[in-house]
Chain A
Amino acid sequence: MIIEHPLLGPRDSSEFTYMGDAKLIDRPDPEAETAARDFYEYGYLRDNPAGWHDELWFHEQGDRSWLVVTRNTLTHEISKVELARDVARARGRSK
């Protein structure tokens, strides 16, 4: 596969290491009343869709940025690639 790195252009996927669903960005609040349940769901439950999937790839043999790649799990087509840091900020992880 080829991943279109937002800064570095098209790169072979073997330069990257895969982690999983980009919802891993949404780490729950450890202080919440429901933290135990929230962390269980965050840590273990996945949508695992057959279709479009936002997922985390790490440019291990490159600039070491984490990317959020929108990829179709049925066809492997990639429609979007963003820096995970931008996504994290957009999802309100800035403190």
Chain B
Amino acid sequence: MRYSGLQVIKQALTGHKGWKPAWRDPEPKPNYDIIIIGGGGHGLATAYYLAKEFGQKRIAVLEKGWIGGGNVGRNTTIIRSNYLLDGNEPFYEFSLKLWEGLEQDFNYNAMISQRGILNLIHSDAQRDAFIRRGNAMLLNGADAEMLTTEQIKARYPYLNTEDARFPIKGGLAQHRGGTVRHDAVAWGYARGADKLGVDIIQNCEVTGFRQENGRCVGVETSRGYIGAGKIGCAVAGSSSRLMSKVDMRLPMESHVLQAFVSEGLKPVMPGVVTFGAGHFYCSQSDKGGLVFGGDLDGYNSYAQRGNLPVVEDVCEGGMAIFPAFGRARLLRMWGGIMDMSMDGSPIIDRTPIDGLYFNGGWCYGGFKATPASGFCFAHLLARDEPHPTATAYRFNRFETGHMIDEKGMGNQPNLH
């Protein structure tokens, strides 16, 4: 069934009886050509593009719980491509371009809203770094604009420019950045993939990999053994846990990142603002909630929850630039588990085991990367070679010294 305004009206007039499940609930088949482990944004996008762009058939997505239950369902919904380094910027710009046509492509309104992202500048050194970054974006075909404090003030008149501990000295804007209704991304990809014949199998946990002659030939699951020609893992947050089943140690740690939403408020924030002298970023959803976040809690964790010090730190950052938010109330906080990699950049690569492929290490960057990650992983799975924008995301880059370290923090994951 194709979704449209007309369809909504037709269904409303006929008692909504015609709406079908957005995706089927199939039983797993004994084997598939390609199995994707992980029914999050990246896994579902991979399956979608495998079927749609790379002509692959007999694909399954295995999800241990409910689809979209990982980080695609718990993030601050920001999309942007304001990266600096060669290994990253073309990939994230590719992702942003995919976002721009996504809803029409998969026939689902994910409320992709390019209301812009603004990185505030507070020091001359920061300005130099942002100019370098903005230039790198432009040279890569992305958009970027340097804004003066006055221009920023016109857009956010309640920003603290009078009594700020760290005065605002301008900002780097990417007007094509913005936000997306995060759950709808998972659902849109799931529905799109399902329509193309992909089996989306929920409540199916992978408990092990079966190898024959050095090749991975299938997975043991909570719903029995399933064979596969190729297997792609896209379980960011749990990557180390899954890959330990084939005795792989990964260049990453799992960390909790908390995020927050306020009660619904009449809109005051047109776009996304990030505070460069503290740890705070904020946007406002189409429902009216201020969606905001900050730094990692900072210690290894799989607990999907955090602690008060970071909650306070984030709110301090918020109050530092938006003193009018003091009387807004924080409604809910949650924690997602990040695959924090050793250089802050992801991995999309083959593993040393034939037939087994890996996608993970997304750090904070996973949500915005969803379309390109799916596309590039599908490319790798289908053609056995990396997509041109993802050639740098290799496992061996740490051994060879080709790190992609945007923040320059080195091999300490919690600093990225």
Known: A40-B398, A43-B398, A55-B299. A48 touches B309 (CB 8 A): no
Whether B307 sits at the interface, judged by CB under 8 Å, is yes
In the complex, which range does the number of interface residues on chain A fall in? 20 to 34
A20 at the interface (CB under 8 A from B): yes
Task: Tell me the dominant secondary structure on chain A's binding face.
Answer: mixed
Min Cβ gap B159→A in Å is 28
A44/B398 in contact, CB under 8 A? yes
Interface size bracket, B side: 20 to 34
Best-buried of A49, A71, A76 by chain B (most CB within 10 Å):
A76
**Is B399 in contact with chain A by the CB < 8 A criterion?**
yes
Task: Tell me if A32 is interfacial: C-beta within 8 Å of chain B.
Answer: no
Closest 3 CB pairs of A and B: A48-B240, A45-B249, A44-B398
Are A1 and B307 touching (Cβ within 8 A)?
Answer: yes
- Which residues of B come within 8 Å of A, CB atoms? 238, 240-241, 244, 249-254, 298-303, 307, 309, 342, 398-399, 411-414
The answer to the question of A47 belonging to the interface, with a C-beta cut-off of 8 Å to chain B, is yes
A sample of 5 more A-B contacts (CB under 8 A), given A46-B240, A47-B249, A53-B300, is A19-B412, A20-B300, A44-B251, A46-B253, A50-B302
Interface contacts (Cβ under 8 Å), in number, total 71
Q: Which of A19, A40, A50 contacts B399 (CB 8 A)?
A: A40
Q: How far is the CA of A1 from the CA of B251 in the complex (A)?
A: 26
> Nearest chain B CB to A10's CB is how many angstroms away?
15
Are the CB atoms of B251 and A45 closer together than 8 Å?
yes
A37 to B254, CA, bound (A): 23
Contacting residues, chain A, for B250 (C-beta < 8 A): 45-46, 48
A73 on the B face (CB < 8 A): yes
A73 contacts B342, C-beta separation under 8 Å: no
In the complex, are the beta carbons of B301 and A73 less than 8 A apart? Answer: yes
Q: Which of A17-76 contact B (CB under 8 A)?
A: 18-21, 37, 40-41, 43-50, 53, 55, 71, 73-76
Q: Are A46 and B249 in contact (CB under 8 A)?
A: yes
Measured between alpha carbons, how far is A43 from B249 in the docked complex, in Å? 12
Q: Are A46 and B251 in contact (CB under 8 A)?
A: yes
